[in-house]
Structure 1
């Protein structure tokens, strides 16, 4: 009796960048939320330079799925083989490879292949997986191509920073405030609207309108993955403001004997072509970096300060 049918899909894109640059972008899974659009968050579990094991949360046909995956990296051949250890339903198995071919000193070809099996070979499930794989793979290749072709300026386009607030109160009360994003309108001044759905525990889909310091309003959409026992909420904007090509971050709580340090971390990939359109004629990448650092930092610190007041006020009332 034959087993389930093996479905095969393959994709390719030519990139005006050195093969080593392209390979580096796909080799580091911790950066995927910035470079691979469907990726929301990656928790690396094991890595020795050749074998990579991690849990990933990613969008698929409008929903969020999570699975364990392992990869084998061959830097000399510029090839990465991957296989899901615990595939998300309706998959029975999913694997494939990334390969980067050198076409010249500054030209390469990125190839992505998938092989998968679906439980009971159900046609509807097979079509769902094919559609998700097509959509995600094409988005991944397009963003990786765009990012790699800016490799000479990439350091200026990437921005990472954090801010922290000291709280003399329990971590749980701070976490409750940060988790309750649906209640932020009316509690957090720069949040005008927040609609939240949580079909799976700890996975929040957020649609939000926020006000900037200059009075403008931005609409964003985000996914948040909540880890209550670790005191962490990781997030990624699936629809970021126009100045950002990608934005991911984390709220984290570091408790000690006398209270907790609440930290807001941000990682950003700037959208170079939007700088003058958003900030005015003559605006530079340095202006964009300063603007984003100030705007995101101000909003995060304001939220952390409100979380601090919430926690400390509750303690005083007790």
Structure 2
């Protein structure tokens, strides 16, 4: 089990917030790493690498100040004490915090306190980084817990799937080679792809919409050859406050099931500007889903053609 902050590390930073949510709800949200890209603005993707007896080992990919990084971390769960201890195995930055804990305490049936501790052996900049991360993560957590039904209405997910008479490897290669999308995909006007560190891609793209408008987006993508590609858009169209997704490629013996899954949080501030003063959330959901589904399905169908031609 990771040492409690302060027992083996020389510098400890701790911050606390009070949230209008039951303590068990806070613990549940933090314990599921699949929630993290939705909660924390810097996180691209989190992968559960290994289950442990009382916890798990995870790998995190994130973007801070325009720089992408990744590391692994071990987490130990205490569901009765409402505590999650963590220890970074490969800190993303030199001198970054090595260990810490989320500690949740119930104040009433509808209110709880959340403390985030981080500790490390670094000094100066490392301590400032620990303090910054504590503040930013708690600030991001609070609205997620307190938005309740409003957040549920604005958040939705959907998946498009195409059956391919071809190899998963070839479908993956088509999606992975996004630097060629400008010549391969009619709805892409420009695409620029960079990869640093290996397995973490930056994709900048100009996409043409059905109404003739062009949207510039920047995404970070995490690749798992030849099984899936997870991504998060950091530069977003006006109607979206969040957009994450996963391309998956499953070989089922007779071919490949290629899927594109999207998770979206709507930006209600821009609905009237984009869709008109009488538009509501339901119309915005339909508009965004149609736009995303049209593009991802078109991409999957072209990937299907590519893979099937290579099989012949």
**With structure 1 as the length reference, what TM-score do the two structures score?**
0.84
For residues 36 and 161 of structure 1, do their structure 2 counterparts lie closer, same or farther at Cα, with a shift above 3 Å needed? same
Q: Which residue of 1 aligns with 2:5?
A: none
Q: Which residue of 1 aligns with 2:86?
A: 82
CA distance in 2, matches of 1:175, 1:96: 37
Equivalent positions of 1:93-108 (< 5 A) are 94-108=98-112
Q: How many residues align?
A: 305
String of CA shifts for 1:118-161, please: whole Å, max 9, x gaps. Answer: 4xxxx6xx62x445545544433232222222113332222121
Q: Which residue of 1 aligns with 2:309?
A: 313
Q: Which residue of 1 aligns with 2:211?
A: 214
Q: Is the 8 A contact 1:98 1:110 kept in 2?
A: yes
| Aligned match for 1:290, one of 283, 286, 289 | 286
2:140 is the alignment partner of 1:143: yes
2:256 is the alignment partner of 1:260: yes
Q: Which residue of 2 aligns with 1:7?
A: 11
Q: Which residue of 2 aligns with 1:152?
A: 149
CA distance in 2, matches of 1:282, 1:138: 38
CA distance in 2, matches of 1:255, 1:191: 28
Q: Which moved more, 1:187-196 or 1:86-95?
A: 86-95
2:199 is the alignment partner of 1:202: yes
Question: What do you get for the CA RMSD once the two structures are aligned?
Answer: 2.6
Equivalent positions of 1:1-318 (< 5 A) are 6-47=10-51, 50-91=54-95, 94-118=98-122, 127=125, 129-130=126-127, 132-228=129-225, 230-316=226-312
Q: Which moved more, 1:247-256 or 1:236-245?
A: 236-245
CA distance in 2, matches of 1:49, 1:214: 53
State the shift of 1:89 in Å: 4.9
Query: Any idea what SS the aligned residue of 2:229 has?
Result: strand
Q: Is the 8 A contact 2:171 2:304 kept in 1?
A: yes
CA distance in 1, matches of 2:185, 2:127: 41
Query: Any idea what SS the aligned residue of 2:183 has?
Result: coil
CA distance in 1, matches of 2:280, 2:36: 26
String of CA shifts for 1:192-241, please: whole Å, max 9, x gaps. Answer: 2222221222211122221222223222211111111x421111112332
